[in-house]
Structure formats: C-alpha cells, structure tokens
C-alpha cells in the first residue's frame, strides 16, 4: 500500500481517542454571498497533521470536512461534495491512489490535491488513471499550501483568459465555459477541472501559442516555481480523452522549449 506520510509507523500505539465524525465537521454556511462554495475536505489519518491543518483552514474561512479514513472520505464526499480535497496517500483502509480514483468518480468537479512524502507517487497520482489535479510533497510549508488552495478556489469561475458564459468552438470541438462542458461532435468529453481549464486557455488563444509559464501560472498557481511536469501529464491525458472522442490529438501542438498551441488540422 502506498504510504505518503512520514509520520506513519511512528505514532504511539495508544494514541489519543479519535474525535467523532460530527466533531470534526464545521457545518456552518458553506457558500459565500457571491455563490463561492468554500467546502474543503482533508483526508489525513495522522492527527498531528490533520488537526492543525484543519484548524488553519478553518481560520482562513473554509468549511472543512476531515476524514481519517478512505471510508469516511467517501461518506463525507457523498453527503457534502467538497470543492477541493487534500489527500494523504498513506491511509489505513485503502490505497490513497485508489481513493483518488473513487473520489474523482463520485465528485467529478472536485479539485484533488495530493499530499505525499514520496516524489515517485507524483507520476501515479497525476497520471492517466488516478485523476489528481495537483500535488505537494511533505513536509510542506503551510503558507505554500494555503496559497495553492487559494489559487485553486479562484478557479471556480470562468477559466483564465475567458469570459463567463462564453461558448468556444473550433471544428468539432465545443466548450461551454459556463457549464464547463466539452463536446466533440456533440458527444460530451468528461474532463477533470484542470484539464478543462487547460483546454479552455489553449482554445481561447485562437491558434496563438501559449507559453508553459503562462499555462502554469494561469491554470495552476500564479506563484508557481516548481516542476512543470504537471502540465505535460495533463496535456497527455487531455490528448488521450480527445482522441477517444474522435478529435485529432495532434490538435494540441507541442512547441518544444516554449509551450503549446491549439491548432486542429483542417479546422
């Protein structure tokens, strides 16, 4: 079983009693006046990480659900679908990568940020199968995590470079930005939130090239300074999903050392 938590195995056998599920929830309003949903879920079995993290997020005004196990995470997500999930991979009852898949299926619109101590997990969680949107390696600095969450939460509106309610179309591809729906020749393509934002940013550029830095800062984090591997993995899963729906995957053109361009042949 993947274990992304450095503290695992070091916890005393007689650890403090776990708080009841209800006690770990803050059921006050989850939606702000402007309609922004602030519900986050922390999935973390290590209380020495989960408790201060939950408190820090609540202090920022988020409505936080805290799950200690995969089973609790699925139960809470069904009751109150979170906008964003912070997911530890080393859980007692289920592999975190498998939980990532299940959460992605049960709450398709949620942003999943994996917190992992193992750099090698990155390929797996951001890859074609698990469906995570972002990752931070442990130990992480709280201000960095909070900045990353703020960047993700801002993305609930129209994707960067686009206008709310706009419908973009090139060839057989149609993007409804208000509904966050993508269709190829009338067939809906199920995309993860970041895949949608990425495609929208590229399509909105109307055939112009978009640099890697622009994509990282506008689709992920305005203060992004780390690896841009996330971008390449999202582009490859986007190409695969478009191809499965009959779109030419070469429509997303790689510009080596520069960025990407959406340029469907024959459109």
Structure tokens at 53: 């993290």
Strand segments, DSSP code E, in 56-185 are 63-67, 84-88, 111-116, 134-137, 167-170, 173-176, 181-184
**Cα–Cα separations (whole angstroms), residue 181 to 126, 167, 175:** 21, 9, 6
Residue with smallest beta-carbon separation from Ca ion: 5
Cβ–Cβ < 8 Å for 132, 100:
yes
Size of the residue set binding Ca ion (CB under 5 A) = 6
Pairing of strands 134-137, 111-116: parallel
Which one of 14-22, 45-53, 72-80, 129-137 is the stretch in contact with Ca ion (CB under 5 A)?
45-53
Contact string 232-251 vs Ca ion (x = CB under 5 A): --------------------
**What residue has token string 């450095």?**
6
Does residue 45 belong to the site contacting Ca ion (CB under 5 A)?
Answer: yes
Structure tokens at 45: 């079995």
Q: Which of residues 6-25 bind Ca ion (CB under 5 A)?
A: 8
Q: Minimal CA–CA distance to 134: which of 258, 224, 2?
A: 224
Does residue 68 belong to the site contacting Ca ion (CB under 5 A)?
Answer: no
CB of 46 to Ca ion, least distance (A): 5
Does residue 90 belong to the site contacting Ca ion (CB under 5 A)?
Answer: yes
Does residue 5 belong to the site contacting Ca ion (CB under 5 A)?
Answer: yes
Which one of 43-51, 61-69, 187-195, 253-261 is the stretch in contact with Ca ion (CB under 5 A)?
43-51
Does residue 88 belong to the site contacting Ca ion (CB under 5 A)?
Answer: yes
Chain residues in the site for Ca ion (CB under 5 A):
5, 8, 45-46, 88, 90
């Amino acid at each position: 079983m993947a274990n992304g938590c450095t503290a695992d195995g070091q916890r005393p056998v007689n650890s403090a009693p776990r708080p009841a599920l209800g006690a770990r929830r803050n059921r006050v309003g989850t939606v702000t006046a402007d309609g922004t949903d602030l519900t986050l879920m922390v999935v973390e079995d290590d209380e020495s990480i989960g408790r201060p993290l939950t408190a820090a997020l609540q202090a920022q005004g988020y409505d936080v659900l805290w799950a200690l196990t995969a089973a609790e995470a699925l139960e809470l997500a069904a009751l109150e679908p979170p906008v964003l999930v912070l997911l530890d991979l080393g859980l007692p009852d289920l592999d975190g990568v498998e939980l990532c898949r299940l959460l992605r299926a049960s709450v398709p619109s949620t942003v999943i940020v994996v917190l992992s101590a193992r750099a090698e997990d990155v390929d797996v969680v951001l890859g074609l199968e698990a469906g995570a949107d972002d990752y931070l390696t442990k130990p992480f600095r709280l201000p960095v995590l909070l900045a990353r969450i703020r960047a993700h939460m801002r993305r609930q509106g129209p994707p960067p470079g686009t206008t709310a309610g706009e419908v973009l179309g090139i060839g057989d591809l149609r993007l409804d930005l208000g509904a966050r729906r993508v269709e190829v020749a009338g067939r809906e393509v199920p995309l993860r939130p970041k895949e949608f934002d990425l495609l929208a940013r590229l399509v909105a550029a109307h055939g112009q090239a978009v640099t890697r830095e622009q994509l990282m800062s506008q689709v992920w984090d305005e203060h992004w300074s780390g690896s841009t591997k996330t971008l390449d993995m999202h582009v490859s899963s986007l190409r695969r999903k478009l191809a499965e729906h009959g779109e030419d995957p070469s429509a997303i053109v790689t510009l080596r050392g520069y960025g990407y361009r959406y340029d469907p042949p024959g459109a």
